[in-house]
Homo-oligomer: A and B are copies of this chain.
């Protein structure tokens, strides 16, 4: 007999069960400023569940990204960073090439033009990544 689908949990992935650790990972990401690396998420999550392992953090992050609760941002150094999605909505990043700081930014007009660009090439738009590199105001002043 077909089993009933498990109740909704922090991850809506197909067949996923409720899990204290995944909740802890989501909470760790959601209660931070964002831009946490997996290792930093692990550190935060351990404050909630001391025994949680790094593998679980990676698995949970992947799951939470899959269901849209968390979004992944991969800066030029290739180390993935995570932030809670939804709360602040979509945004792009201005990355300082000197100090490595991030600034979040959105330009509705750019968003709109991207749709146009995708359409022009026959692409069905699903998402995008825009990163602008340069010197932040602080670093530009020092040079």
Contacts and interface: CB of A to CB of B under 8 A. Distances in A.
Nearest to A107: B117
A55 interface: no
A50 interface: no
Contact of A134 (B125, B129, B134): B125
A107 B112 CA distance: 12
Interface string A120-139: 11111111111111111100
A123 B110 contact: no
A51 interface: no
A76 interface: yes
A96 interface: yes
Given A94-B117, A127-B132, A130-B131, 6 more contacts: A103-B123, A110-B113, A121-B136, A124-B140, A129-B133, A130-B130
Interface residues of A, number: 35
A125 B103 CA distance: 13
A132 B137 contact: no
Nearest to A115: B132
B135 A124 contact: yes
A127 B134 contact: yes
